[in-house]
């Protein structure tokens, strides 16, 4: 942090004014401190004043209005960030770090960014997210204080979720759907395959729920199946061709196959269309690349 103080002279070195910056969305309401961990230096840009023979010490004196005061300190701060998991696992979220001047209104003190304002030196590829980019802009607030906000784009990595969630559940659904291809009277094999798939899905869901965000812990009630035996064929003495004894069973089986496949196809297309459209729209956004920005001079 750097600033100018036109009132400063060498006689006020012990009572130097240091601005205080609040970290608005940090935990425990933290702010900048001036303690033994701080390092205060002067960035000399102007020329020194002429020598004063009345001064008994040999020293170079600079004007406070022409030179910057620079304070450095290392902070370890946890900022709060709200994620939107509607498009999970294809969600792209933006986390903010908000900084605002404390006590002094913007009529007297203005917080401005210097050069790139922020520089990220860590790895771009994290465990579950990819740091897509970051930029700093003016903080808009109803309070009469000046501030800045640094926006960080976090892209969720979806390869793990595809392999561990979507691919297994899709295969199990296809196996369950294959029971419609069994003979309509082969009730025992159909129910065994269906129950086995249901048990596997329940076990898989229990394992996945431990690693998913809290918003996705939902309860899906399973339908109640009423077992029953097919009706026995009736003997008729009429010369007319009798109706098939399992006509309704075959009709329900056919319509169940069509309705289930239709609903599954609609859900499959809608889900992936929405997810991929959000992914494409986020890619289209222009994020300021801090690596391509050149360092600017000191602000006036």
Model confidence pLDDT, tens digit, residues 269-294: 886 777 677 667 766 665 545 455 55
Together in a domain, 154 and 165: no
Residue 239 maps to a domain: no
Give the dihedral of Cα atoms 87, 175, 183, 196; nearest 10 deg: -110
Q: What is the CATH number of the domain that holds 177?
A: 1.20.58
Domain that holds residue 136: 92-158
Domain boundary among the residues 80, 112, 146 is at 80
Indicate whether 65 belongs to any domain: yes
Are 181 and 263 part of one and the same domain?
Answer: yes
Q: Is the N-terminal amide bond of 89 cis, ω within 30° of 0?
A: yes
> Does the model's pTM come out above 0.75?
no
150 shares a domain with 210 = no
Q: Do residue 4 and residue 25 come from a single domain? A: yes
Closest to 153 in 3D by CA, of 1, 9, 289, 300:
289
Neighbours of 15 (CB within 10 A): 7
pLDDT (0 to 100) of residue 114: 78
Query: Are residues 191 and 275 located together in one domain of the fold?
Result: yes
The torsion defined by the Cα of 4, 77, 161 and 164, in degrees rounded to 10, comes to 150
Q: What is the pLDDT of residue 3?
A: 66
Distance (Å, whole) CA 90 – CA 45: 49
pLDDT tens digits, 106-126: 888 888 887 777 888 888 888
Expressed in angstroms, the distance from the first to the final Cα of the chain is 15
Q: Please indicate, yes or no, if residue 70 is contained in any of the structural domains.
A: yes
pLDDT at residue 207, rounded to an integer? 77
Is residue 236 domain-resident?
no
Examine residue 254 and state whether it is found in any structural domain, yes or no: yes
Residue 208 has what pLDDT? 74
DSSP tally for the chain: helices H, then strands E = 4, 7
Residue 293 lies in a domain: no
124 and 214 share a domain? no
Sequence-distant (≥ 6) Cβ neighbours of residue 85 within 8 angstroms: 91, 213, 215, 216
Residues 65 and 122 in one domain: no
Instruction: Supply the pLDDT for residue 13.
Output: 56
Angle at 88 between CA 28 and CA 126, to 5 degrees: 60
pLDDT in tens, 194-235: 888 888 888 888 777 776 665 544 443 444 444 444 444 444
Asked if 7 and 64 count as a contact pair (C-beta separation under 8 A), the reply is yes
The whole-number mean pLDDT for each consecutive block of 10 residues of the chain, a chain of 300 residues, reads: 62 71 87 80 77 69 77 87 81 89 84 80 85 86 88 87 82 81 76 84 79 50 42 48 65 78 81 71 58 52
| Same-domain status, 270 and 184 | yes
């Amino acid at each position: 942090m750097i600033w100018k103080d036109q009132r400063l002279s060498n006689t006020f070195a012990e009572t130097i004014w240091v601005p205080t910056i609040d970290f608005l969305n940090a935990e425990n309401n933290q702010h900048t401190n001036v303690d033994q961990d701080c390092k205060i230096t002067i960035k000399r840009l102007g020329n020194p004043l002429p020598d004063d023979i009345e001064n008994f010490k040999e020293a170079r004196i600079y004007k406070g209005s022409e030179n910057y005061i620079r304070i450095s300190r290392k902070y370890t701060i946890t900022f709060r960030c709200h994620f939107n998991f509607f498009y999970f696992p294809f969600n792209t979220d933006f986390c903010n770090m908000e900084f605002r001047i404390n006590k002094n209104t913007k009529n007297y003190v203005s917080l401005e960014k210097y050069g790139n304002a922020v520089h990220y030196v860590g790895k771009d590829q994290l465990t579950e997210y990819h740091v897509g980019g970051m930029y700093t802009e003016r903080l808009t607030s109803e309070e009469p204080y000046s501030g800045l906000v640094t926006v960080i784009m976090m892209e969720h990595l979806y390869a793990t979720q595809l392999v561990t969630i979507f691919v297994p559940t899709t295969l199990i659904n296809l196996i369950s759907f294959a029971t419609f291809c069994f003979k309509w009277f082969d009730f025992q094999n159909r129910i065994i395959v269906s129950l086995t798939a249901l048990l596997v899905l329940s076990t898989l869901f229990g394992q996945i729920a431990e690693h998913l965000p809290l918003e996705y812990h939902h309860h899906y009630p399973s339908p109640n199946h009423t077992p029953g035996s097919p009706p026995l064929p009736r003997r008729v003495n009429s010369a007319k061709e009798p109706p098939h004894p399992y006509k309704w069973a075959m009709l329900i089986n056919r319509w169940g196959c069509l309705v289930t496949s239709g609903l599954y196809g609609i859900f499959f297309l809608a889900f992936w269309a929405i997810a991929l459209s959000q992914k494409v729209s986020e890619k289209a956004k222009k994020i300021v690349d801090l690596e391509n920005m050149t360092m600017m001079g000191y602000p006036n």
